Amino acid sequence: MDSELRELYQQVILDHNKSPRNFKKLEDANHHAEGHNPLCGDHLDVYLQLENDVVKDISFIGNGCAISKSSASLMTAIVKGKTKEEAEHLFEKFHDLVTGNLKDANEIEALGKLAVFQGVQEFPARVKCASLAWHTLHNALNNKEEKISTE
C-alpha cells in the first residue's frame, strides 16, 4: 500500500473511527454547537460541560468519514480537563498541523496523539474533514449556537 495513504489512515485514526470515544449526547451539557461540511455531508454535534472556563466533560455525535470522526474522537479525549484557552490554543496548532504550517518538530510532538493527523496536509480536500470538529468546538466554547459550516 502507498506510504502516503498509510500516513493518512494511521492505526490510531482507524481505531478512533471504529470505536469513537465520548460518542454520545452529553445530557448535562451547558454548551453545544453543530457543525456541517456540505461537501461530503459530514455532520456533528459537540456538547460541552464548561465550568469556570474548564472543559469538565465533552462529547460528540454525528456522521462522517474516518478522518472527521477520528478527529472528533481524539479531540474530545485530549480537550477534556483543559481550559478554554488551552483548547483554543490546541485548535490553532492543530489547524496549522493539517494545513502544513506547523514545521517545528517539538511543537508537533507537543500535540501528542493529534500528531497522527500530520498526513492530512498532503490531502487538501481532507483538511476540512479533520478540522470540522475543532471549528465546532470553537463555536461551542464561545457558545455560538448557530450551525457552522466548513464550506
Set of cell numbers at residue 46: 459537540
Q: Which residues partner with 43 through β-bridges? A: 36, 63
Decide: helix, strand or coil at residue 31. strand
Query: Of 4 and 53, which has the nearer Cβ to other proteins?
Result: 4
| Member of 67, 97, 98, 115 binding other proteins (CB under 8 A) | 67
Among 21, 22, 33, 42, binds other proteins (CB under 8 A): 42
Q: How far is the CB of 48 from other proteins (least distance, A)?
A: 24
> Does residue 43 interact with other proteins by CB under 8 A?
yes
Pairing state between β 148-149 and 31-37:
parallel
Q: Which residues pair with 36 in a beta bridge?
A: 43, 149
Place of cell 453543530: 34
Binding status of residue 45 toward other proteins by CB under 8 A: no
Q: Measure the CA–CA gap between 74 and 88, rounded to whole angstroms.
A: 15
**Residue ranges in contact with other proteins by CB under 8 A:** 1-2, 4-6, 8-9, 14, 17, 38-43, 63-67, 69, 123, 125-126, 129
